[in-house]
Amino acid sequence: MTKIAERKPHKSILKAVETLQKLGFNPVFLASKQMNLQRLEGMTQKQVVRVKQALLSVSNIYYKRLAAKGQAFLTREEFEKTLKMATSQKLAQMLSALSVLTQTKVYLFWKNPKVRE
């Protein structure tokens, strides 16, 4: 296998995770919808608003992945509307999606050794 490329997470994603960490979320468990839901249900309304603001601070190229609406592109206004109407379950799902976006992606190329050029 040959390493072709490596893609690190966008700085806006890292900043959002840092904000969430200050609100009591553990980045290690951010992928767990259940843990996110438990944390969200134990928060005040003001803290939930801060969680939504952290999600809104992510670069707009990631809105569609976070919202998981199946649309090709979401504007900031559409994403704000989605966040405003989001239940705790939907927010937990969005936080889980954010966790996936924090991962460094490594792209590999495999060449079959049995095939001659």
Q: Tell me the C-alpha distance between 21 and 61, whole Å.
A: 22
SS3 assignment for 45-65: HHHHHHHHHHHHCCCHHHHHH
Q: Tell me the C-alpha distance between 67 and 78, whole Å.
A: 10
Q: In the prediction, which pLDDT does 86 show?
A: 92
pTM of the model: 0.84
- The pLDDT tens digits of the residues spanning 10-44 come to 999 999 999 999 999 999 999 999 999 999 999 99
- The pLDDT tens digits of the residues spanning 59-109 come to 988 888 898 877 778 889 999 999 999 999 999 999 999 999 999 999 999
